[in-house]
Amino acid sequence: MDNIAERKDQIMSDIERALKIIKFYENFYVGLNGNAKKYLKCQSAKYKEALLNIQEVILPSIKETCPTCVEGCCKLYEAKRSIYMAGAVGGFGCVDYLLVRCDTQLPDLCCENAENNLCLFFDSGCTLPADCRSYECIRYFCDQLNNKIDMQLISKYLEEAESILTDFSIRRLVL
């Protein structure tokens, strides 16, 4: 079922669920105490640094390639991609959401985008700051970018970001 029109009901209902989940993450963040925020801030700095290292490598190629791309990739559903972005707003899980949210007010979601099969953080490009992407988004490279970028270097930074997510202790936030 690759046709967007056929998938529209599914996308809209998934987006509704994804919005509830992101609201839950936000409420969780808002309710954190001082010690939890201290721990979060420390891990957040490491995650954001890894993301900025990746962005530094990829941005020149993105600036060169993306403006003329007709396909686009910030879609909720894309037949050629293996991830399904309507399942989680911006591709966020709980940990990467908390890590990026930590010291940053995220931009408003554009819920109307869902009608057009676009990510709710999309507006002529990603509205999120460069160091505030989900792991799902930061690890995605289309073939065009893959061919231009030093993927060995990227893999190293991706591993760093992934290990920060894996080692993160939600338990330390609630103790």
Binding site for ligand SF4 (CB under 6 A): 65-66, 69, 71-74, 85, 90-91, 119, 121-122, 126, 128, 133, 137, 142, 144-145
The nearer residue to ligand SF4, 10 or 61, going by C-beta atoms, is 61
The nearer residue to ligand SF4, 107 or 153, going by C-beta atoms, is 107
Q: How far apart are CA 112 and CA 3, in angstroms?
A: 19
Least CB distance from residue 74 to ligand SF4, whole Å? Answer: 3
Distance of CA 6 to the CA centre of its chain: 26
The nearer residue to ligand SF4, 22 or 128, going by C-beta atoms, is 128
Q: What is the 3-state secondary structure (H, E, C) of 73-100?
A: CCECCCCCCCCCHHHCHHHCCHHHHHHH
- The structure tokens listed for 162 are 């992934």
The nearer residue to ligand SF4, 22 or 173, going by C-beta atoms, is 22
Least CB distance from residue 66 to ligand SF4, whole Å? Answer: 3
